[in-house]
Structure 1
Amino acid sequence: MKLNKMIITLALVTMLAIPAFAQKFAYVQSQRILAEFQEFVDVQNKLNEIRNGYDAQYQKMLKEYNDMLQEIDSQSLLLSPEKKQEKMRQAQEKATEIERFKYEKLGPEGEFYKKSQELTQPIIDKINKLIAKIGEEEGYDFIFDASSGALVHALPKYDITDQVIEQLNKGAASTTTGKGK
Protein backbone atom coordinates (compact mmCIF):
# COMPACT_ATOMS: atom_id res chain seq x y z
CA MET A 1 0.00 0.00 0.00
CA LYS A 2 2.80 2.41 0.95
CA LEU A 3 4.60 1.50 -2.24
CA ASN A 4 1.53 2.38 -4.31
CA LYS A 5 1.25 5.77 -2.57
CA MET A 6 4.91 6.42 -3.20
CA ILE A 7 4.60 5.50 -6.90
CA ILE A 8 1.50 7.70 -7.30
CA THR A 9 3.23 10.59 -5.52
CA LEU A 10 6.33 10.16 -7.67
CA ALA A 11 4.18 10.07 -10.82
CA LEU A 12 2.34 13.26 -9.79
CA VAL A 13 5.58 15.08 -9.02
CA THR A 14 7.02 13.98 -12.35
CA MET A 15 3.89 15.12 -14.23
CA LEU A 16 3.98 18.50 -12.49
CA ALA A 17 7.66 18.92 -13.26
CA ILE A 18 7.29 18.28 -16.99
CA PRO A 19 5.66 21.67 -17.76
CA ALA A 20 8.49 23.39 -15.92
CA PHE A 21 10.89 22.02 -18.51
CA ALA A 22 8.61 22.57 -21.49
CA GLN A 23 10.08 24.70 -24.21
CA LYS A 24 8.24 27.71 -25.56
CA PHE A 25 7.90 27.99 -29.34
CA ALA A 26 6.69 30.67 -31.74
CA TYR A 27 6.84 31.27 -35.46
CA VAL A 28 6.87 34.14 -37.91
CA GLN A 29 5.94 34.44 -41.56
CA SER A 30 8.99 36.22 -42.97
CA GLN A 31 7.46 36.76 -46.41
CA ARG A 32 4.53 38.57 -44.82
CA ILE A 33 6.86 40.63 -42.63
CA LEU A 34 8.80 41.74 -45.71
CA ALA A 35 5.60 42.50 -47.63
CA GLU A 36 4.14 44.60 -44.80
CA PHE A 37 7.27 46.35 -43.49
CA GLN A 38 7.16 49.72 -45.24
CA GLU A 39 10.93 50.26 -45.14
CA PHE A 40 11.46 47.01 -47.05
CA VAL A 41 8.65 47.82 -49.49
CA ASP A 42 10.31 51.19 -50.21
CA VAL A 43 13.66 49.48 -50.85
CA GLN A 44 11.99 46.95 -53.15
CA ASN A 45 10.39 49.80 -55.11
CA LYS A 46 13.77 51.51 -55.43
CA LEU A 47 15.37 48.25 -56.59
CA ASN A 48 12.58 47.76 -59.13
CA GLU A 49 13.32 51.23 -60.54
CA ILE A 50 17.02 50.38 -60.81
CA ARG A 51 16.23 47.02 -62.41
CA ASN A 52 13.81 48.64 -64.87
CA GLY A 53 16.53 51.14 -65.83
CA TYR A 54 19.00 48.34 -66.52
CA ASP A 55 16.35 46.41 -68.44
CA ALA A 56 15.55 49.48 -70.56
CA GLN A 57 19.26 49.95 -71.37
CA TYR A 58 19.56 46.27 -72.22
CA GLN A 59 16.50 46.36 -74.50
CA LYS A 60 17.85 49.48 -76.23
CA MET A 61 21.17 47.75 -76.86
CA LEU A 62 19.39 44.66 -78.21
CA LYS A 63 17.34 46.82 -80.57
CA GLU A 64 20.50 48.54 -81.83
CA TYR A 65 22.10 45.14 -82.41
CA ASN A 66 19.04 43.77 -84.23
CA ASP A 67 18.89 46.94 -86.33
CA MET A 68 22.55 46.45 -87.26
CA LEU A 69 21.87 42.86 -88.33
CA GLN A 70 18.81 43.89 -90.30
CA GLU A 71 20.80 46.63 -92.04
CA ILE A 72 23.54 44.17 -92.94
CA ASP A 73 20.97 41.72 -94.26
CA SER A 74 19.08 44.31 -96.30
CA GLN A 75 22.27 45.81 -97.78
CA SER A 76 24.22 42.60 -98.23
CA LEU A 77 23.97 42.68 -102.03
CA LEU A 78 25.02 46.34 -102.19
CA LEU A 79 27.98 46.13 -99.80
CA SER A 80 31.49 45.24 -100.84
CA PRO A 81 32.89 42.16 -99.07
CA GLU A 82 35.20 44.41 -97.02
CA LYS A 83 32.36 46.73 -95.97
CA LYS A 84 30.12 43.77 -95.15
CA GLN A 85 32.89 42.20 -93.08
CA GLU A 86 33.41 45.53 -91.25
CA LYS A 87 29.70 45.77 -90.43
CA MET A 88 29.69 42.15 -89.23
CA ARG A 89 32.66 42.92 -86.97
CA GLN A 90 30.78 45.93 -85.55
CA ALA A 91 27.72 43.76 -84.93
CA GLN A 92 29.90 41.17 -83.15
CA GLU A 93 31.40 43.93 -80.98
CA LYS A 94 27.87 45.09 -80.14
CA ALA A 95 26.89 41.53 -79.17
CA THR A 96 29.96 41.32 -76.91
CA GLU A 97 29.09 44.71 -75.39
CA ILE A 98 25.53 43.50 -74.70
CA GLU A 99 26.76 40.34 -72.95
CA ARG A 100 29.27 42.32 -70.89
CA PHE A 101 26.56 44.81 -69.90
CA LYS A 102 24.20 41.99 -68.91
CA TYR A 103 26.88 40.30 -66.80
CA GLU A 104 28.19 43.49 -65.15
CA LYS A 105 24.78 44.96 -64.36
CA LEU A 106 22.43 42.00 -63.96
CA GLY A 107 24.71 39.02 -63.42
CA PRO A 108 25.01 37.05 -60.17
CA GLU A 109 27.82 39.33 -58.98
CA GLY A 110 26.71 42.39 -60.93
CA GLU A 111 25.85 45.90 -59.82
CA PHE A 112 22.16 45.12 -59.29
CA TYR A 113 22.91 42.17 -57.01
CA LYS A 114 25.40 44.23 -55.00
CA LYS A 115 22.95 47.12 -54.68
CA SER A 116 20.21 44.73 -53.64
CA GLN A 117 22.43 43.24 -50.92
CA GLU A 118 23.54 46.70 -49.79
CA LEU A 119 19.96 47.93 -49.39
CA THR A 120 18.22 44.81 -48.07
CA GLN A 121 20.80 43.32 -45.69
CA PRO A 122 20.46 46.07 -43.04
CA ILE A 123 16.68 45.55 -43.07
CA ILE A 124 17.02 41.77 -42.74
CA ASP A 125 19.44 42.33 -39.85
CA LYS A 126 16.95 44.72 -38.20
CA ILE A 127 14.15 42.16 -38.52
CA ASN A 128 16.31 39.35 -37.13
CA LYS A 129 17.41 41.50 -34.17
CA LEU A 130 13.80 42.38 -33.39
CA ILE A 131 12.70 38.75 -33.59
CA ALA A 132 15.56 37.80 -31.24
CA LYS A 133 14.57 40.63 -28.86
CA ILE A 134 10.93 39.51 -28.83
CA GLY A 135 12.12 35.95 -28.29
CA GLU A 136 14.12 36.99 -25.23
CA GLU A 137 11.42 39.27 -23.82
CA GLU A 138 8.65 36.71 -24.30
CA GLY A 139 10.79 33.77 -23.19
CA TYR A 140 10.65 31.80 -26.44
CA ASP A 141 13.17 29.00 -26.75
CA PHE A 142 12.68 28.73 -30.51
CA ILE A 143 11.16 30.96 -33.19
CA PHE A 144 10.64 29.30 -36.54
CA ASP A 145 10.09 30.84 -39.96
CA ALA A 146 6.90 29.44 -41.48
CA SER A 147 7.86 30.84 -44.90
CA SER A 148 10.91 28.59 -45.13
CA GLY A 149 8.75 25.52 -45.51
CA ALA A 150 10.25 23.80 -42.48
CA LEU A 151 7.15 24.40 -40.35
CA VAL A 152 4.51 21.86 -41.25
CA HIS A 153 1.85 22.78 -38.68
CA ALA A 154 1.43 25.33 -35.92
CA LEU A 155 -1.48 26.85 -34.08
CA PRO A 156 -2.13 30.50 -34.98
CA LYS A 157 -1.77 31.52 -31.33
CA TYR A 158 2.00 30.93 -31.67
CA ASP A 159 2.31 33.27 -34.67
CA ILE A 160 4.14 36.45 -33.61
CA THR A 161 4.30 37.91 -37.13
CA ASP A 162 1.82 40.71 -36.31
CA GLN A 163 3.87 41.67 -33.26
CA VAL A 164 7.05 41.87 -35.35
CA ILE A 165 5.40 43.90 -38.13
CA GLU A 166 3.80 46.26 -35.62
CA GLN A 167 7.09 46.95 -33.84
CA LEU A 168 9.05 47.31 -37.09
CA ASN A 169 6.58 49.80 -38.55
CA LYS A 170 6.29 51.63 -35.23
CA GLY A 171 10.08 51.94 -35.18
CA ALA A 172 10.14 53.10 -38.80
CA ALA A 173 7.43 55.69 -38.10
CA SER A 174 9.29 57.10 -35.10
CA THR A 175 12.50 57.24 -37.16
CA THR A 176 10.69 59.11 -39.93
CA THR A 177 9.04 61.58 -37.55
CA GLY A 178 12.28 62.07 -35.65
CA LYS A 179 14.14 63.29 -38.76
CA GLY A 180 12.31 66.63 -38.86
CA LYS A 181 13.36 67.67 -35.34
Structure 2
Amino acid sequence: MHRSIFLLLFSLLFWTSTTQAQTYKYGHINLGNLLEELPQTAEAEAKLRVFADSLNRKDSLLTANFQAAYLQLKKEYDEGMLTPVQVQKRQAELEKQREEIQDFEEDAQRLLESKRAQLLEPIVKRVNEAIQAVAKREGYAMVFDIGSGALLFAIETIDITPLVRKELGLQ
Protein backbone atom coordinates (compact mmCIF):
# COMPACT_ATOMS: atom_id res chain seq x y z
CA MET A 1 0.00 0.00 0.00
CA HIS A 2 2.77 2.41 0.91
CA ARG A 3 4.56 1.39 -2.23
CA SER A 4 1.55 2.21 -4.48
CA ILE A 5 1.04 5.56 -2.75
CA PHE A 6 4.73 6.30 -3.20
CA LEU A 7 4.54 5.35 -6.91
CA LEU A 8 1.44 7.45 -7.34
CA LEU A 9 3.05 10.47 -5.67
CA PHE A 10 6.28 9.94 -7.61
CA SER A 11 4.36 9.71 -10.91
CA LEU A 12 2.37 12.81 -10.07
CA LEU A 13 5.52 14.71 -9.12
CA PHE A 14 7.31 13.57 -12.28
CA TRP A 15 4.34 14.52 -14.49
CA THR A 16 4.02 18.04 -12.99
CA SER A 17 7.76 18.71 -13.25
CA THR A 18 7.83 17.72 -16.93
CA THR A 19 4.84 19.89 -17.76
CA GLN A 20 6.35 22.84 -15.92
CA ALA A 21 9.72 22.39 -17.62
CA GLN A 22 8.19 22.84 -21.04
CA THR A 23 10.62 24.30 -23.54
CA TYR A 24 9.63 26.79 -26.17
CA LYS A 25 10.83 27.18 -29.71
CA TYR A 26 11.59 30.69 -30.93
CA GLY A 27 12.05 31.71 -34.53
CA HIS A 28 13.02 34.73 -36.52
CA ILE A 29 12.55 36.01 -40.02
CA ASN A 30 13.71 39.05 -41.95
CA LEU A 31 10.33 40.29 -43.13
CA GLY A 32 11.76 43.04 -45.33
CA ASN A 33 13.98 40.63 -47.24
CA LEU A 34 11.14 38.15 -47.63
CA LEU A 35 8.81 40.83 -48.98
CA GLU A 36 11.47 41.87 -51.51
CA GLU A 37 11.64 38.29 -52.81
CA LEU A 38 7.94 38.16 -53.66
CA PRO A 39 6.98 38.95 -57.27
CA GLN A 40 3.83 40.69 -56.01
CA THR A 41 6.02 43.23 -54.20
CA ALA A 42 7.87 44.06 -57.43
CA GLU A 43 4.51 44.52 -59.17
CA ALA A 44 3.30 46.81 -56.38
CA GLU A 45 6.53 48.84 -56.53
CA ALA A 46 6.14 49.23 -60.31
CA LYS A 47 2.58 50.51 -59.87
CA LEU A 48 3.80 52.85 -57.15
CA ARG A 49 6.53 54.22 -59.44
CA VAL A 50 3.96 54.96 -62.16
CA PHE A 51 1.78 56.76 -59.62
CA ALA A 52 4.76 58.71 -58.23
CA ASP A 53 5.85 59.67 -61.75
CA SER A 54 2.41 61.13 -62.49
CA LEU A 55 2.57 63.18 -59.28
CA ASN A 56 6.10 64.34 -60.14
CA ARG A 57 4.99 65.42 -63.62
CA LYS A 58 2.20 67.53 -62.16
CA ASP A 59 4.61 69.02 -59.59
CA SER A 60 7.09 69.84 -62.36
CA LEU A 61 4.35 71.53 -64.39
CA LEU A 62 3.21 73.63 -61.42
CA THR A 63 6.82 74.60 -60.66
CA ALA A 64 7.55 75.48 -64.29
CA ASN A 65 4.43 77.67 -64.43
CA PHE A 66 5.52 79.40 -61.22
CA GLN A 67 9.02 80.01 -62.56
CA ALA A 68 7.66 81.37 -65.84
CA ALA A 69 5.33 83.74 -63.98
CA TYR A 70 8.19 84.86 -61.74
CA LEU A 71 10.52 85.50 -64.71
CA GLN A 72 7.77 87.41 -66.52
CA LEU A 73 7.17 89.57 -63.45
CA LYS A 74 10.90 90.21 -63.07
CA LYS A 75 11.24 91.16 -66.74
CA GLU A 76 8.28 93.54 -66.66
CA TYR A 77 9.48 95.05 -63.38
CA ASP A 78 13.04 95.54 -64.69
CA GLU A 79 11.66 97.21 -67.82
CA GLY A 80 9.54 99.55 -65.69
CA MET A 81 6.29 98.30 -67.21
CA LEU A 82 4.49 97.83 -63.88
CA THR A 83 3.19 100.21 -61.29
CA PRO A 84 3.94 99.46 -57.62
CA VAL A 85 0.33 98.35 -57.16
CA GLN A 86 0.63 95.93 -60.10
CA VAL A 87 3.91 94.56 -58.72
CA GLN A 88 2.31 94.00 -55.33
CA LYS A 89 -0.69 92.26 -56.92
CA ARG A 90 1.54 89.97 -59.02
CA GLN A 91 3.73 89.16 -56.02
CA ALA A 92 0.63 88.13 -54.10
CA GLU A 93 -0.39 85.89 -57.02
CA LEU A 94 3.08 84.32 -57.04
CA GLU A 95 2.92 83.75 -53.30
CA LYS A 96 -0.45 82.04 -53.75
CA GLN A 97 1.03 79.83 -56.50
CA ARG A 98 3.98 78.96 -54.26
CA GLU A 99 1.62 77.96 -51.45
CA GLU A 100 -0.43 75.85 -53.87
CA ILE A 101 2.73 74.05 -54.97
CA GLN A 102 3.70 73.43 -51.36
CA ASP A 103 0.20 72.13 -50.56
CA PHE A 104 0.29 69.88 -53.62
CA GLU A 105 3.66 68.45 -52.60
CA GLU A 106 2.39 67.68 -49.09
CA ASP A 107 -0.79 66.11 -50.50
CA ALA A 108 1.26 64.14 -53.02
CA GLN A 109 3.41 62.71 -50.23
CA ARG A 110 0.30 61.64 -48.30
CA LEU A 111 -1.24 60.15 -51.45
CA LEU A 112 1.96 58.26 -52.19
CA GLU A 113 2.11 56.82 -48.67
CA SER A 114 -1.56 55.86 -48.85
CA LYS A 115 -1.08 54.19 -52.23
CA ARG A 116 1.95 52.28 -50.92
CA ALA A 117 -0.07 51.02 -47.95
CA GLN A 118 -2.97 50.08 -50.23
CA LEU A 119 -0.71 48.12 -52.60
CA LEU A 120 1.33 46.36 -49.91
CA GLU A 121 -1.51 45.53 -47.49
CA PRO A 122 -2.68 42.33 -49.24
CA ILE A 123 0.93 41.17 -49.68
CA VAL A 124 1.82 41.75 -46.03
CA LYS A 125 -1.44 40.08 -44.96
CA ARG A 126 -0.59 36.99 -47.03
CA VAL A 127 2.92 36.82 -45.56
CA ASN A 128 1.61 37.25 -42.00
CA GLU A 129 -0.90 34.46 -42.55
CA ALA A 130 1.92 32.22 -43.79
CA ILE A 131 4.05 33.09 -40.74
CA GLN A 132 1.13 32.30 -38.41
CA ALA A 133 0.46 28.98 -40.15
CA VAL A 134 4.10 27.87 -40.09
CA ALA A 135 4.60 28.96 -36.48
CA LYS A 136 1.52 27.10 -35.27
CA ARG A 137 2.22 23.99 -37.35
CA GLU A 138 5.88 23.82 -36.27
CA GLY A 139 5.16 24.61 -32.61
CA TYR A 140 6.91 27.97 -32.26
CA ALA A 141 6.09 30.03 -29.20
CA MET A 142 7.28 33.28 -30.77
CA VAL A 143 8.55 34.53 -34.12
CA PHE A 144 10.42 37.83 -34.42
CA ASP A 145 11.27 40.05 -37.36
CA ILE A 146 15.02 40.56 -37.07
CA GLY A 147 14.83 43.56 -39.40
CA SER A 148 12.61 45.59 -37.07
CA GLY A 149 12.60 43.62 -33.83
CA ALA A 150 8.82 43.29 -34.04
CA LEU A 151 7.01 40.29 -32.64
CA LEU A 152 5.21 38.63 -35.57
CA PHE A 153 3.70 35.66 -33.74
CA ALA A 154 3.21 34.60 -30.13
CA ILE A 155 1.26 31.81 -28.53
CA GLU A 156 -1.28 32.81 -25.93
CA THR A 157 0.44 32.97 -22.56
CA ILE A 158 -0.25 34.29 -19.09
CA ASP A 159 -0.53 38.08 -18.90
CA ILE A 160 1.92 39.25 -16.22
CA THR A 161 0.74 42.87 -16.25
CA PRO A 162 -0.85 42.57 -12.77
CA LEU A 163 2.44 41.24 -11.37
CA VAL A 164 4.43 44.07 -12.95
CA ARG A 165 1.92 46.61 -11.64
CA LYS A 166 2.39 45.16 -8.17
CA GLU A 167 6.18 45.31 -8.54
CA LEU A 168 5.90 48.98 -9.54
CA GLY A 169 3.62 49.76 -6.64
CA LEU A 170 0.59 50.37 -8.85
CA GLN A 171 -2.81 49.07 -7.91
TM-score normalised by the chain length of structure 1: 0.65
Seq. identity, %: 20
Quick one: distance in 1 between partners of 2:100 and 2:27? 51
Q: What secondary structure sits across from 1:104 in the alignment?
A: helix
The 5 A counterparts of 1:54-65 are 54-65=55-66
**Paired position in structure 1 for 2:33:** 32
Q: What secondary structure sits across from 2:28 in the alignment?
A: strand
RMSD after superposition: 2.5
**Paired position in structure 2 for 1:119:** 119
* 1:146 to 2:149 alignment: no
CA displacement 1:10-48 (0-9 Å, x = unmatched): xxx8xx959x61111111111111110111221112112
**Paired position in structure 1 for 2:67:** 66
Amino acid at match of 1:56: R
Structure 1 117/99 Cα, relative in aligned 2: closer, same or farther at 3 Å?
Answer: same
**Paired position in structure 1 for 2:81:** 78
Deviation at 1:85, TM superposition (A): 2.5
Q: What secondary structure sits across from 1:22 in the alignment?
A: coil
Between structures 1 and 2, the one with greater strand share: 2
Greater alpha carbon shift after TM alignment, 83-92 vs 122-131 = 83-92
How many residue pairs get aligned? The number is 135
Q: Over alpha carbons, which structure has the higher Rg?
A: 2
Specify which structure has the bigger relative contact order, considering alpha-carbon pairs within 8 angstroms and separated by 6 or more residues.
1
Quick one: distance in 2 between partners of 1:132 and 1:64? 52
Quick one: distance in 1 between partners of 2:31 and 2:115? 21
**Paired position in structure 1 for 2:162:** none
TM-score normalised by the chain length of structure 2: 0.69
